């Protein structure tokens, strides 16, 4: 009985071919089949590094479902399947996620040969916080999905990394200004590791102006600073919000829940303020009498 096959994810250069690792070349040379987005592009890469072209199988957004079935059959036959994208790490805003999930579900070994990544490259050179970040990939192009995702990005406290095509980057920056304001810090990175690599750092307003001045070319990575921390609500803020809900006819219980949600404060604190007895005013003393007369 033949040994089970294995799936190997291979990172490839995002621009500079000198970033191709010896291990990546060896993994492609050892594969029985290479799953790729574009056979011509991958074929040129293999030729550049002297790798005799094995069987190539197209795995893109249109073919991934059918290709996954065929590649699982190759794994069942004991073959080694290498997965690459046109550039960078496969399955990151590129085809391959479905194939990896299916291979894991079927119990086949899945390995990775790390390589260049536009996401991580742009993040670490951005100068923005890198300790915690989120990768959003490409935003939905339209509809409620785009609106909802933009709202999530605007309130995200961690650094956000986005991908965008050159012909859509101006619109995306305009939409980000709409939800984040003009002064949110942002970094635009394009053509990373290539001859015309460019990194722009500034505010969203400055980035939008830059895109208007120069024709955007190449794929963009947008690195957006996280949302600033909201100021903690004061007791007066809580009491004022409670008064507004009560004036609108809400019960104390409902008002407490709504205010806690709106202001992001603990419900117990809102409840205690809602039930705090009103402060008593200083008693008014009869006119014409001094403190010393009252004391007597």
**Domain finish residue from 116, 148, 170:** 116
- Domain span at 257: 235-274
From first CA to last CA, the distance across the chain in angstroms is: 110
Instruction: Answer whether residue 282 is part of any domain.
Output: no
Instruction: Answer whether residue 229 is part of any domain.
Output: no
Q: Are residues 17 and 109 in the same domain?
A: yes
- C-alpha distances (whole Å) from 134 to each of 162, 188, 238 are 9, 16, 32
Cβ atoms of 10 and 86 closer than 8 Å: no
Q: Identify the pLDDT of residue 296.
A: 45
Q: Are residues 123 and 214 in the same domain?
A: yes
pLDDT digits 0-9 by tens, 223-239: 999 999 777 889 999 99
The CATH number assigned to the domain holding 150 equals 3.30.950.10
Q: Are residues 96 and 132 in the same domain?
A: no
Instruction: Answer whether residue 143 is part of any domain.
Output: yes
Greatest Cα pair distance, the chain, in angstroms, is: 111
Q: Identify the pLDDT of residue 263.
A: 86
pLDDT digits 0-9 by tens, 150-176: 999 999 999 999 999 999 999 999 999
Q: Identify the pLDDT of residue 232.
A: 83
Mean residue pLDDT across the chain: 91
The number of beta carbons lying within 10 Å of the beta carbon of residue 145 is 11
The CATH number assigned to the domain holding 103 equals 3.40.1010.10
Kind plus residue range of the DSSP H or E element containing 270: helix 267-274
Instruction: Answer whether residue 286 is part of any domain.
Output: no
Instruction: Answer whether residue 242 is part of any domain.
Output: yes
| Segments of the chain scoring below 50 in pLDDT | 290, 292-296
Q: Are residues 11 and 109 in the same domain?
A: yes
Q: Are residues 53 and 148 in the same domain?
A: no
Q: Identify the pLDDT of residue 280.
A: 57
Q: Identify the pLDDT of residue 229.
A: 79
**Domain finish residue from 74, 95, 116:** 116
Among candidate residues 119, 228, 224, the one with its CA nearest the CA of residue 173: 224
| Structure-token match 């059959």, residue found | 73
Distance separating alpha carbons of residues 163 and 168, to the nearest angstrom: 10
Q: Identify the pLDDT of residue 289.
A: 52
Please tell me the total count of domains within the chain. Answer: 3
Q: Identify the pLDDT of residue 295.
A: 46
């Amino acid at each position: 009985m033949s040994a089970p096959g294995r799936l190997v994810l291979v990172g490839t250069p995002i621009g500079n071919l000198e970033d191709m690792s010896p291990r990546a070349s060896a993994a492609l040379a050892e594969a029985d089949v290479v799953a790729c987005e574009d056979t011509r592009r991958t074929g040129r890469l293999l030729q550049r590094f002297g790798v005799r072209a094995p069987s190539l199988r197209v795995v893109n957004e249109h073919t991934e479902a059918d290709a996954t079935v065929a590649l699982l059959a190759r794994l069942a036959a004991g073959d080694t399947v290498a997965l690459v994208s046109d550039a960078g790490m496969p399955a990151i805003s590129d085809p391959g996620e479905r194939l990896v999930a299916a291979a894991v579900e079927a119990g086949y070994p899945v390995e990775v040969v790390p390589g260049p990544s536009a996401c991580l490259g742009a993040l670490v050179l951005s100068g923005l916080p890198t300790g915690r970040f989120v990768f959003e990939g490409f935003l939905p192009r339209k509809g409620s999905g785009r609106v909802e995702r933009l709202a999530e990005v605007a309130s995200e406290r961690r650094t956000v990394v986005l991908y965008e095509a050159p012909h859509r980057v101006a619109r995306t920056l305009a939409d980000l200004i709409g939800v984040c304001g003009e002064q949110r810090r942002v970094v635009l990175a394009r053509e990373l590791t290539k001859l015309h690599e460019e990194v722009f750092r500034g505010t969203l307003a400055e980035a939008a102006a830059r895109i208007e001045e120069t024709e955007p070319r190449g794929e963009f990575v947008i690195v957006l600073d996280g949302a600033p921390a909201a100021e903690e609500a004061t007791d007066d803020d809580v009491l004022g919000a409670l008064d507004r809900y009560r004036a609108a006819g809400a019960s104390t219980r409902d008002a407490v829940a709504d205010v806690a949600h709106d202001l992001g404060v603990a419900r117990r604190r809102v409840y205690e303020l809602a039930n705090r007895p009103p402060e008593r005013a200083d008693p008014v003393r009869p006119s014409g009498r001094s403190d010393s007369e009252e004391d007597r």
